[in-house]
Amino acid sequence: MATKLEYIWLDGYKPTQSLRSKTKIVKNFSGKLEECPLWSFDGSSTEQAPGGSSDCVLKPVFICPDPQRKDAYLVMCEVLTADGTAHESNGRALIDDDDNDFWFGFEQEYFLWDPETNKPLGFPAGGYPAPQGPYYCSVGANNAYGREIVEEHLDACLEAGLNVEGINAEVAAGQWEFQIFAKGAKEAGDQIWIGRYLLERIGEKYGVAINWHCKPLGALDWNGSGMHANFSNSVLRTAGNKETYDKICEAFRPVVKEHIEVYGADNHLRLTGKHETASIHDFSYGVSDRGASIRIPLATVEKGWNGYLEDRRPNSAADPYKVAARIIKTVKSVAV
């Protein structure tokens, strides 16, 4: 029997990478990752290689059923150079979490975007809808726009076996969110990218684009889009004291620049100190504080300082691999 394998990877465009994919047909496939062969592509067409030596290698790293095609799988891949080393665009290779001690939950926000009006769904062609307020977790045709796309995406993710923990309409009209959690930073990144891929493909069907930009409506009084990173390791999950949390949070203070560099392009437009964000120029943390750089969840405190932290600075277009890699590096720098 013939099986379709959709090889998915990230291109080399800067400052924001895009998804690419192509289909490989194989025979007698069992569905196991180890049976997915290495493959190659033309890196000169994706900003990843010069034309005179354009082969880049795709290394399969994650596989799941493709819920929208018959006899098919989605295969997330790392990009390698011709000599087998990680390509410079390969953020997954930066993650130091081989024992899966780090758990990540990403909150992926996005706008459903009408290509004809160049505005979010729900925005009239010649103006703006009512101010934000009624759209968050809303229901009804006056406030919720594009639910059929969002519901189809949720079903597709669940059928693919992704660990989606929820969805909701967000603060701005036409803005939505899905959340994915995984025990292991690499798999959390894999699942977010597969989730993004499925959403993009479903959008094609409806003629609706997915806008991942963190502030697509500019300086207007509308929320931007984030990808809040909830994270823990065994230290955070079993700390049992406030001092450990303070020490880890303080480790983020001297490396703000290094974090912001991988937290998504144009984040200065979003991290203004307004609309539930901290200023990009400051660093802060606090219990249940959604206006801080890092929020200490109330549940963590109630469980005796055993739990996780939420970095609220990564934006919606950030690469979850690079975000996780940088967070892990900072947390591991702390001697506890």
Q: Check if the beta carbon of residue 240 is closer than 8 Å to that of residue 303.
A: no
Task: Show the tokens assigned to 125.
Answer: 């062609």
Query: What are the phi and psi torsion angles at 327 (to 5°)?
Result: -60, -45
* pLDDT tens digits along 282-319: 999 999 999 999 999 999 999 999 999 999 999 999 99
Task: Show the tokens assigned to 255.
Answer: 């490396």
- CB hemisphere CA count around 143 (13 angstroms): 14
Q: Is the pTM here over 0.85, yes or no? A: yes
Checking if the pLDDT of 219 tops 80, the result is no
* pLDDT tens digits along 43-70: 999 999 998 889 999 999 999 999 999 9
Does the domain at 2-90 match CATH 2.60.40.10? Answer given as no
Which of 59, 64, 94 lies closest to 77, judged by CA?
A: 59
* pLDDT tens digits along 149-208: 999 999 999 999 999 999 999 999 999 999 999 999 999 999 999 999 999 999 999 999
Strand 39-42 relative to strand 19-27, pairing: unpaired
CATH superfamily of 103-332: Glutamine synthetase/guanido kinase, catalytic domain (3.30.590.10)
Banded model confidence at residue 124, pLDDT cuts 50, 70, 90: very high
Give domain limits for the chain: 2-90, 103-332
Same fold, 2-90 and 103-332: no
DSSP run (H or E) holding 108 = strand 103-114
Report which of residues 275 and 4 the model is more confident about. 4
